[in-house]
Amino acid sequence: VEAILKGALKGLGIANLPVQNMTQELESGTLVRVLPQWHTVPMPIYLVYRPGANRPRRVQAMIDHIMSLRSQFEFGPRHGLCCG
């Protein structure tokens, strides 16, 4: 992701990145949207684990981190993430 963003900033081509990875550049005008009618298909994220199971702290930290980011993305049954 970082290499693609750096390439776009140097004028080497078009970057197809999540908006979250280039918010500052879009807001400042350093990068501009091209082909606004075209977009990629959203990729679902699945977290599959047994509730209540003993998990290593690093696994639980990853689960917690991903769940903390969900407000930045469209999640729900049709987007591949259901949570309780």
Question: 83 and 46 share a domain?
Answer: yes
Question: Which is more confident, 73 or 54?
Answer: 54
> Bigger pLDDT: 36 or 57?
57
For residue 81, the model assigns a pLDDT of: 39
Over 70: is that where the pLDDT of 45 sits? yes
The CA dihedral of 79, 54, 65, 3, to the nearest 10 degrees, is -90
Residues 27 and 66 in one domain: no
Distance CA 61, CA 40 (A): 29
Q: How many domains does the chain have?
A: 2
In 3D space, the residue among 46, 52, 41, 53 whose CA is nearest the CA of residue 70 turns out to be 46
Whether residue 83 has pLDDT greater than 70? no
Is the pLDDT score of 13 beyond 80?
A: yes
Residues 59 and 23 in one domain: no
Mean pLDDT over the full length of the chain: 79
pTM: 0.51
